Amino acid sequence: MKKIHIVGLGLLGGSFALALKKAKPEIKLTGFDSNPKNLEDALTLGLVDEAKNQADSDTDIIILATPANTLRALLQETLDRIGPETLVVDFGSAKELLCKSVEDHPKREQYLAGHPIAGTEYSGPKAAKADLLDRKVFIICEMEKTNIHLKAKAYEVLEALNMKLRFMDPEEHDKHLAFVSHLSHITSFMLGKTVLDKMEDEKNIFDMAGSGFASTVRLAKSSPAMWAPIMQENKKNILEAMSLYIANLSKFRDKIIADDYEGIYHEMEKINKIREILDLGG
């Protein structure tokens, strides 16, 4: 393993680069970002060794870490021009449409559909952290469609970064992510909107908002450039998740209207089971 090229040098691409430099300093890292400021920052921060519009012909792995709605075209273009020993891995948060877009591509076996379950509410190269991916889950979809020799390259890197591999169908991945990730971000954005619409005095928000509000609305600081495309790419599953969420909110509101506080207590008590699940996972 000698060369890795990263397209998209924001939070995920940048964090991957920092972690790889620490774990495998012998690998030459090149990169590109369509935002000139991001590219400049990535070079200044030492995320990559060199800026290149395209990967060298002998590059081992190309990482695609750009917004979700850019990946289909970018993946097609990248597969079209790579040599036989290069593996392409994407970091996209939606997989079904992306995998379908290249299912008949003659170089399909040179693609690994991946998704690191990691992130923060911040974006750009300056938000990159060397430990962001450490001990995090890396989901791989359609593993059996990737060439075994090329797949070994990815496993070598992921193992060096101390990531935990999980395997899913693209459809299963997108449905689960809609509920446990995408819906969380929508909820946070809408809570932020509700408070901003109602409380015109920003000082009151600052003075009265406790840690509960701050933690719940944290994701509303996330980049629209990243999250709006995810809504586009996983529309079907996100709409299903939102419909169920809105229905549950309405039922809860109805209990308050009916002064059914015993019912509210028991509802929250049942939902407390989430604590056991999350504590076990932590």
Four-CA torsion 125, 132, 129, 90, nearest 10 degrees: -30
Q: Rounded distance, CA 89 to CA 80, Å?
A: 14
pLDDT in tens, 91-109: 999 999 999 999 999 999 9
> Which option is the CATH number for 173-281: 3.40.640.10, 1.20.910.10, 1.10.3660.10, 3.40.190.10?
1.10.3660.10
| Candidate from 66-80, 181-195, 200-214 with smallest mean pLDDT | 200-214
From CA 164, how far away is CA 87, in angstroms rounded? 20
Numbered ranges of CATH 1.10.3660.10 in the chain: 173-281
Q: Are strands 164-168 and 137-141 parallel, antiparallel or unpaired?
A: parallel
35-47 pLDDT, tens digit each: 999 999 999 999 9
Residue range(s) in the chain whose domain bears CATH number 3.40.50.720: 3-168
Confidence of residue 216 (pLDDT cuts 50, 70, 90): confident
- Residue 33: C-alpha distances to residues 11, 45, 53, 211 (Å): 12, 14, 8, 36
Classify domain 3-168 by CATH architecture: 3-Layer(aba) Sandwich (3.40)
Listed in sequence order, the residues at least 6 apart from 158 whose beta carbon sits closer than 8 Å to its beta carbon are 138, 165
Closest CA to 221 of 116, 122, 124, 149: 122
- Token pair for 75: 């993946």
